[in-house]
Amino acid sequence: AAGTLAVGRAVAAATRSNGATSIIGGGDSVSALKKAGLGDQVTWMSTGGGASLEFLEGIELPGVAALSEK
């Protein structure tokens, strides 16, 4: 938990100070940042950890592909 909060604080600081785009992925990470009061200091949070990473890697996700077909 301490490592998650340390990284969360660093990401939030980079977002605030440098205008970095920050993406937090995974339910546990999102919960930890919200609990620490950092949720509004990052650009985007998603509870889909593994799926978020696959999406960022460009891997086709069946649920997203189905939306494109409609």
Q: What is the pLDDT of residues 22-59, one digit of tens each?
A: 999 899 999 999 999 999 999 999 998 888 889 889 99
Q: Is 69 exposed, middle or buried (0-12, 13-18, 19+ CB in 10 A)?
A: exposed
Domain map of the chain by residue range? Answer: 2-69
What is the average pLDDT across 4-31?
Answer: 95
Q: pLDDT category, 1, cuts 50, 70, 90?
A: confident
The b-or-e profile of 27-54 (16+ CB within 10 A means b, else e) is: eebbebbeeeebbebbeebbeeeebbee
**Whether the predicted pLDDT of 6 surpasses 70:** yes
Does 70 score more than 80 pLDDT?
no
Token couple for 24: 């937090």
